[in-house]
Structure 1
Amino acid sequence: MKLKRDRGRFISDYDQCNVFLISAFYCLAGKDAADARLRKAIQGALVDLAKAKRGGTPSNIVQFQRTPTRTVQ
């Protein structure tokens, strides 16, 4: 997850995507069936985005457990 610095705080691609999806959601007038389908699809994308953001790791570094080494006597 790439982070961008904006006014002293970091903004992730998840945050930016969330803003774009919410903006698109509110741009739909909701006067016909196509708008209703798009709103439902955007709602699903927002839910999936929230799950992906929660399930993500703070970094792309994988921690491996070290096994104790045996000493030769």
Structure 2
Amino acid sequence: MNTSPIHLMLLVLLLAVVALFCTLVAAAAGLLARIDGATYASALLRGALAFGGSATLSLALLTFVLAAL
């Protein structure tokens, strides 16, 4: 893999976008669970699970795309 500064900066930016996307997914899942009548603890747990799932899928997709390049 080429480790030029531009490639490293692009990787850092992509990881920041993935983190923001996963945070948004987690917040939406927690909010929807709370609106559905879940307790604060279970809504937080549902948001955490959504964050973990979306982070796993996003990082797997990012790894696949970077390996294909």
TM superposition score normalised by structure 1: 0.45
Q: Which structure has the highest strand share of the two? A: 1
Q: Which has the bigger relative contact order, CA under 8 A and spacing at least 6?
A: 2
Pair member with larger Rg: 1
Q: Which structure has the highest helix share of the two? A: 2
